[in-house]
Amino acid sequence: MKYLANLVSGCRNFSPVGIISFGFVAAGLILGATVDMAWLILFALGVFGQALLRELGLLGDRNEFQRQAAFRAGYRAYLVGGVFLIGVMIAKGWGYKDLGWDQFPIHPFLTAMVMTYFLSYLTDYWGARKAAFRILLVFGIFWLIFALLEAGVFGLLTNPFFIVPFVLAITSSRWPRISGGVLLILSIFMFFFFNLQRILTGDLGSLFVILLLLLPLLYSGIALLREKPDTPTH
């Protein structure tokens, strides 16, 4: 009876969200192995669903200790996943000199991990406004260098679009909400202007453009829109 009581007491420590997530994971693995791999959608919902809901602020079922433990676990997962992917990439590409060559397309996943980590770190450390200023400034510099290599000085004069990130970097500190809205509109425009819907056909080039060019703009825009307005002083 004592062991049964301990078992019941231990089960009470599981949250309803955790029990539901475990059910999704188990069902996804079983159905994916016996029926169809498409059922792994349930596995993905169980593993990542609750974390995404918490990140979006829609689920607040964890205390401070649990959140810190989750952050440490996520950081370790980032390190292990990154080291594993770069190790496989080096092993598969040994003897080649082309970063685009890869028997298994590991580099898009590695790029997504690194970009997400550093964008999130900058925002949490500096705050939305300062982080957006730095992200847009670096983005504008890279865009300027790319434009110079692509079309030269004459190309910059005929296509002054590269000025936009520098302007938004300046306005992000003064008008964060307006700048965030402009960044979202700019992100949508760039998606169709560069024909990035090709990613739906498995085009890796479009994926890299999204990760390296579109993601910083979109992330900065969302961060600025979520920034709380300044409290007026009297």
Amino acid, res. 132: A
**Nearest to residue 220, comparing CAs of 182, 189, 174, 194?**
182
Q: What is the pLDDT of residues 107-122, one digit of tens each?
A: 777 788 888 888 888 8
Closest CA to 118 of 143, 93, 135, 105: 135
pLDDT digits (tens, 9 = 90+) for 80-103: 888 877 777 777 777 776 665 555
pLDDT (tens digit per residue) in 156-180:
666 656 788 888 988 988 899 999 9
Mean pLDDT of 134-163: 74
Mean pLDDT, the chain, integer: 78
* Residue pointed to by tokens 């997530």: 21
Confidence class for position 104, pLDDT limits 50, 70, 90: low
Residues contacting 94, CB < 8 A, separation 6+ = none
Q: How far apart are CA 109 and CA 92, in angstroms?
A: 15
Residue 129 one-letter amino acid: R
The tens digit of pLDDT for each residue in 171-207 reads 988 899 999 999 999 899 888 888 888 887 877 778 7
Q: Could you tell me the pTM of the whole model?
A: 0.64
Closest C-alpha among 95, 135, 157 to residue 224: 135
Token pair, residue 27, equals 């069902």
pLDDT at 11: 47
How many other CB atoms are found less than 10 A from the CB of residue 162? 18
Percentage of the chain modeled with pLDDT above 70: 81
Structure tokens at 118: 């550093």
